[in-house]
Structure formats: C-alpha cells, structure tokens
C-alpha cells in the first residue's frame, strides 16, 4: 500500500489489455490515470462515445452508458491497484488473478445515480473513487471483498455522479 501520494499513468497497452473484454465500438475509455494515497484510490479517465452501442444517439450521456463508463474506469483502476499493490483488500491478487476474475467475480451490488445536467457524450471526463474496500469471510466460509465507490462524470457544463457498492464474490484468497 502506498502511503505518500502516487500517480500512475495508464499506458495505452495496459488500457487496451484491460478494455479488450469490450466490443471495439464500446471502448469509451480513451485514457486513464490512478492516484493512490493510503487506502484512498482515485481513477481519472477521459471518455468519448462516438455513438451509443444499443440505441439511436440521444445527444447526451445516458444512464446505461454511464454504467458502462463506470465499469471501464473501475476495471482499469482495480487492475492498476493490483499491478502496483495499492490496496490491502486486493493484496493477494496477481495480475493473472485480475484477468481471470474481473468479469465474472466483480459484481455491482447497488447503484445510485443522479444526473444534474446533460453531458456531451462525445468528450467528457470521469472520476472513480475506491472509498472503502474490505475483505471478509461469509458464514459459509467464502472469501469476499466489499467495496464502497463513487463516481462523477462531467463535460464542464453537464454532470452526473453516484455511488456504487461492489462485491467481489471470488477473491481467490486461500482459506
């Protein structure tokens, strides 16, 4: 875990590696960096949506695209956390563990979003904050990680944000 502030710029190859699970026309995250200080981890991203992947263009970021963007920045941030050992909740994970587990095992458990004003989806920035993450063991002996997170997207004029609770259902930790 990093105690002094540290910033990690995500190189294009690492970005492509983590985002490869998305269809090419749905890779909205263009660039990212991760800042760590103690247990506080913040991912910052630059996004661009040429056209929505499921609906005619609405002209603004909508709730479905906001969750996709959240996922992309969250996955990139967690991958960076694992790569650089930035948080104790993920200390037992290797980069190989991340690649094997990020799609099937990191689940959105609860979502709260609020759109303040429309956001131009062609170019905007976002922030993902890992506020708290703790490993725990269920009564059945399964290892889990519970994470409280928040996010915010803005184009300078419009904005939306929210809170998302994540649960990692298979931590891979030895019992």
Average pLDDT in the chain: 92
Instruction: With respect to residue 174, please indicate whether it lies within any of the assigned structural domains.
Output: no
Instruction: With respect to residue 1, please indicate whether it lies within any of the assigned structural domains.
Output: no
Instruction: With respect to residue 102, please indicate whether it lies within any of the assigned structural domains.
Output: yes
Q: Which DSSP category does 92 fall into?
A: T
Place of tokens 């689940």: 107
Write down the pLDDT at residue 133. Answer: 93
Instruction: With respect to residue 173, please indicate whether it lies within any of the assigned structural domains.
Output: no
Token duo for residue 18: 């983590």
pLDDT tens column, 116-168: 999 999 999 999 999 999 988 889 988 899 999 999 999 999 999 999 999 99
pLDDT tens column, 43-69: 999 999 988 777 777 778 999 999 999
Q: In what order do the strands lie in the sheet with 106-117?
A: 6-9, 29-37, 40-47, 124-137, 143-154, 159-168, 106-117
Q: How many CB atoms lie within 10 A of CB 138?
A: 9
CB 66 within 8 A of CB 113: yes
End-to-end CA distance of the chain: 22
Of residues 28 and 2, which shows the higher confidence score?
28
Instruction: With respect to residue 175, please indicate whether it lies within any of the assigned structural domains.
Output: no
Instruction: With respect to residue 99, please indicate whether it lies within any of the assigned structural domains.
Output: yes
Write down the pLDDT at residue 171. Answer: 57
Structural domain for 23, as ranges: 6-168
Write down the pLDDT at residue 172. Answer: 62
Q: Output the domain CATH number for residue 18.
A: 3.10.129.30
- Taking 70 as the threshold, does the pLDDT of residue 175 lie above it? no
Q: How many domains does the chain have?
A: 1
pLDDT tens column, 73-108: 999 999 999 999 999 999 889 999 999 999 999 999
Write down the pLDDT at residue 16. Answer: 97
- Taking 80 as the threshold, does the pLDDT of residue 2 lie above it? no
Instruction: With respect to residue 158, please indicate whether it lies within any of the assigned structural domains.
Output: yes
């Amino acid at each position: 875990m990093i105690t002094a502030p540290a910033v990690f710029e995500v190189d294009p190859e690492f970005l492509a590696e983590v985002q490869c699970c998305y269809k090419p026309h749905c890779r909205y995250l263009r660039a990212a960096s991760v800042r760590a200080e103690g247990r506080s981890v913040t991912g910052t991203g630059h996004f661009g949506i040429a056209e929505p992947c499921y609906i005619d263009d609405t002209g603004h970021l909508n709730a479905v695209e906001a969750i996709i963007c959240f996922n992309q920045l969250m996955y990139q941030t967690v991958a960076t956390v694992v790569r650089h050992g930035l948080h104790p909740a993920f200390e037992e994970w290797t980069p190989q563990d991340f690649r094997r587990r990020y799609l099937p095992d990191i689940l959105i458990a609860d979502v709260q979003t609020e759109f303040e004003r429309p956001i131009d989806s062609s170019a905007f920035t976002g922030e993902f904050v890992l506020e708290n993450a703790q490993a725990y063991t269920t009564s059945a002996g399964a290892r889990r990680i519970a994470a409280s997170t928040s996010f915010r997207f803005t184009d300078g004029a419009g904005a939306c944000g929210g809170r998302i609770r994540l649960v990692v259902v298979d931590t891979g930790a030895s019992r």
